[in-house]
Amino acid sequence: MLKGGDKVNEPIFQIIEEEKKADYGKFIISPLEAGYGNTLGNSLRRVLLTSLAGTAITRVRIAGIRHQFSSLKGMKEDVIEFLLNLKKVRIFYNDEKPIKATLEAKGPGEVKAKDIKIGAPAKIANPDLVLAYLNKDASINAKMDIETGVGYTSFEDRKTGEVGVIPMDAIFTPITRVNYKVEETRVGRFTNYDRLVLEIWTDGTIEPKQALLKAANIIVSYFMQIVSPKKVEKTVGEDKKDDFGPVGKLSVEEINLPTRVANALIKAGYDTVEDLAKAEKAKLVKVRNLGEKSVKIIEAALGEKGLAIGK
């Protein structure tokens, strides 16, 4: 049985970059001991797809728009289509500090990713991506939060109580696709060696070879924790309780209230479901353009969300 420190055969394989493009790389890793083609191929593929850091737009504020179900006058796309296009914007950025960006454009014509103003050292990787089309005299003014992260995160993770701020799903990973196959290869008179063919496609913000090296380093760091374990210090943190959860962040326009009722609530300062759930019924009845009948409509809408006025 092998023990820690016992001598084993050192790997002697080579890595050849057979094809090289800005967003594609094909690598040949050979010769490998039998079985190691799948061992390395599967490990690298999983880490490449899930563990490399990237950059994405995480929040958007659009002038004149309160939530994603609105529409912008003079813009061909609705706000949801515009946000879906923003999710496709890829950004060169290697810092962990969140940054801001702005978009100001006037019609007629296409609005492209290159119209996004972003400070150095960040840079748009796909400037020709079409975001929207504006008619004559139409305009758009948007502000964006940009963050670095790993993998995918849902908009639910970054909801805020600020009305007009639209949280977005974020696809951080810079790797779009990974494929590998294992072939037999010969070493001298032996034919039971593996030849790993690894293909990597990226979004253009990282070179495939650099991605491969980063993935390998991540795998090494995990194995080093087995070989030379570092002591993990546990920290005790207090969880902050959110009484209303994501539902509380919904605007009053998003819970199917009549337009007249929603407008009256907004003018009175009741912008979100949380505001209504904390309100006093006696005060709501006195809101201009509301009354007992309107309050009953509000109670019914809150009831569908499992909430009530004053709770």
Q: How far apart are CA 113 and CA 128, in angstroms?
A: 6
Q: Which of 26-30, 76-80, 270-274 has the lowest mean pLDDT?
A: 270-274
48 versus 229: which is more confidently predicted?
A: 48
With CA atoms as reference, report the closest residue to 198 among 48, 12, 51, 22. 48
Residues 104 and 129 in one domain: yes
Question: Per-residue pLDDT tens for 54-70?
Answer: 999 999 999 888 777 87
Q: Is the torsion defined by CA of 289, 295, 297, 301 positive or negative?
A: positive
Of the residues 156, 171, 186, the one at which a domain ends: 171
301 band by pLDDT with thresholds 50, 70 and 90: confident
> Is residue 104 domain-shared with residue 131, that is, in the same domain?
yes
- How far apart, in whole angstroms, are the C-alpha atoms of residue 140 and residue 264? 27
Residues ≥6 apart with Cβ < 8 Å to 169: 87, 152, 153, 154, 155
Q: Which domain holds residue 283?
A: 250-304
CA 102 to chain centre: 18
Q: Is residue 210 part of a domain?
A: yes
Which residue's entry shows tokens 């795998």?
Answer: 219
Together in a domain, 38 and 129: no
Give the pTM: 0.68
* Stated length of the chain: 311
Q: Is the pLDDT of residue 36 over 50?
A: yes
> Same structural domain for residues 76 and 109?
yes
Share of residues in the chain with pLDDT > 90 (%) = 47
Task: Determine the pLDDT at residue 255.
Answer: 81
pLDDT band at 83 (very low <50, low <70, confident <90, very high): very high
Q: Is residue 235 part of a domain?
A: no
The average pLDDT across 200-207 equals 95
pLDDT digits (tens, 9 = 90+) for 209-253: 999 999 999 999 999 989 988 877 655 444 444 566 777 778 877
Question: Does 285 lie in the same domain as 220?
Answer: no
The CATH number assigned to the domain holding 23 equals: 3.30.1360.10
CATH number at residue 162: 2.170.120.12
The amino acid occupying position 18 is: E
User: SS3 of 26, please?
Assistant: strand
| Any domain includes 7 | no
Q: Tell which residue, 140, 149, 172, has the closest CA to residue 64.
A: 140
Residue 241 belongs to some domain of the structure: no
29 burial type by CB count under 10 A (0-12 exposed, 13-18 middle, 19+ buried)? buried
Q: What is the mean pLDDT of the chain?
A: 86
Same-domain status, 140 and 107:
yes
Q: Are residues 34 and 182 in the same domain?
A: yes
